[in-house]
Amino acid sequence: MVDEDTRITVGAKFVRPGPGKVLQVATISITRRITLDDLWHATPAFPTISEFWLRLLEAYGL
């Protein structure tokens, strides 16, 4: 979930087994109030399922 005004991730929901690969990114982006613009530059160390963040950012035009 993204605040449309600030472009900051404010929440996340995962409906899949084993969300560990994406949970860390969600936790850090929410607790540190990282904007989508800054998150775009955080390349996953091992691009796998965590690449879904890139699709989220692309959906917001980044």
pLDDT at 15: 81
Could you read off the pLDDT of 24-53 as tens digits, one per residue? 888 989 999 999 889 878 766 666 666 777
| Average pLDDT score, the chain | 83
The CA-atom distances, in angstroms, between 19 and each of 6, 25, 27, 48 are: 26, 11, 12, 12
Band (60; pLDDT cuts 50, 70, 90): confident
How many CA atoms within 13 Å lie on the side-chain side of 7? 13
The residue to which tokens 């472009």 are assigned:
7
- Pick from 62, 55, 13: nearest CA to 36: 62
| Model confidence, pTM | 0.63
